[in-house]
Amino acid sequence: MEKRKLGKSNLEVSALGLGCMGMSFSYGPPKDKQEMITLLRAAVERGVTFFDTAEVYGPFINEELVGEALAPLRGQVVIATKFGFDLSGSDNRPGVAGLNSRPEHIKQAVEGSLKRLKVDVIDLLYQHRVDPDVPIEDVAGAVKDLIQEGKVKHFGLSEAGVGTIRRAHAVQPVTALQSEYSLWWRKPEAEVLPTLEELGIGLVAYSPLGKGFLTGKMDANTKFGSSDFRSTLPRFTPEALKANQAVADLLGRIAKQKKATPAQIALAWLLAQKPWIVPIPGTTKLSRLEENIGAVAVELTPSDLREIDSAASKITVQGNRYPEHLEKLTGR
């Protein structure tokens, strides 16, 4: 698979990474561990070198899974993880767990992640969500210390606003920003992407398939179980799914022309936006992993991209990405 560099940092990863959250967390009950280990190793065999996890996924069990699966392949892969939630309480799900990016907490979190991931150094360490109670300079300074100690290689932010990115970058260069970006969430284009380009920071696009919606496999009748966090998202109510069908239909039309799938067009569109964008679609199925990898070979011409943009600009996507208490954690 072709490689991409995240910003000016020279951190080189496969053009598509693999988001591992859903293997343990958020999309229904945790999947069978042995099957997921097999899937993670199959991804490496097929050229994927970039894997995304976080201590809060599970919590902890997703890092353990990724650590166990990739231990024999350590020299071939880049593993990203995240800190920033306070997981000491009895209810430590994100959104319920409070934020905690105090420097001493970051250092504790990193010790735990190193053990679970079975590594001596974390390739890319993100602050999961901006903590309004801790100056971002203190956060960047703590990660800078960890880099100097040889425990972390690269610093990242997730869902941070432009002011925060600039302030953090002035203390410790930011290698990558992880944010949601796809054909149905294009807000980063206004301010975030130009800032990243100016500062030489890569973008890691999570939910590049709109949490499954852009695959064209959902409609207003799609039901989500109580352990599937999409059941709580405004964008996945039956009314919103119906209103947003136009986006999936557009991808379906282009996919037919290109002899590809809607998911492949959604990913190819992201890859075509900037050479420093790396989408990290998640999956728990080998067939989907292979389909997603196939997106790298889909060529969208300038006229294809104009057609997609023109059609997409006429569609107003309905529904917020997150319930209010989670939405307010983004863009700070």
CA 135 from centre of chain: 24
Which residue is associated with the tokens 């130009």? 194
Catalytic residue among 57, 126, 206, 322: 57
As a whole number of angstroms, the distance between CA 223 and CA 92 comes to 26
**Catalytic residue status for 27:** no
The Cβ of residue 231 has, within 10 Å, a number of other Cβ atoms equal to 12
- DSSP string covering 247-260, please? HHHHHHHHHHHHTS
The pair of structure tokens assigned to 121 is 């150094």
DSSP 3-state assignment of 209? coil
Give just the sign of the alpha carbon dihedral 130, 155, 174, 41: negative
Element (H, E) at 152: strand 152-158
DSSP 3-state assignment of 48? coil
Residue type, 287: S
C-alpha distances in Å from residue 258, one per residue of 2, 242, 250, 293, 294: 20, 25, 13, 16, 12
Return the ∠ at Cα 58 (arms to 32 and 15), rounded to 5°.
80
List the catalytic residues: 57
